[in-house]
Amino acid sequence: MNNNRGNNNNNRRRSRGNGNGNGRPQGNGGGQQLNRIDSRARGNAPQLLEKYRKLAHDAHLNGDRVTAEYYLQFADHYFRVIADTRLRQEEARAR
């Protein structure tokens, strides 16, 4: 029985398939990659709510129900964030 086979798999480092093995994107001398996707949300909660409502509406108009629902879930999240913030502000005023 070869117990070493399982250990070799656990010791391998996983990369994102970019070919260089260190987990960083290749190209342009280590500087900022131009085509990367920035996953940070841009804007405040009301702006993001409107952004995702618009994206959901556009997806709906294009007949893409799955994508529309995907964006509506984000919109719902920001709606709840706004409602929670308003509730906290009202509680703070009541004190």
The residue extents of the domains of the chain are 4-94
- DSSP character for 38? P
What angle in degrees, to the nearest 10, is found between the helix axes of 65-94 and 45-61?
160
Output the pLDDT for position 41.
Answer: 77
Residue-level pLDDT at 22: 52
**Residue 39: predicted pLDDT:** 74
Predicted confidence (pLDDT) per residue in 1-20, tens digit = 555 555 555 555 655 555 55
Which residues of the chain are modeled with pLDDT < 70? 1-38
- The confidence score (pLDDT) of residue 40 equals 80
Residue 36: C-alpha distances to residues 21, 26, 32, 48 (Å) = 18, 11, 8, 21
Counting Cβ atoms within 10 Å, is residue 31 exposed (0-12), middle (13-18) or buried (19+)? exposed
Helix (H, G, I), strand (E, B) or coil at 83: helix
pLDDT at res. 26: 54
Instruction: Note the pTM of the prediction, 2 decimals.
Output: 0.58
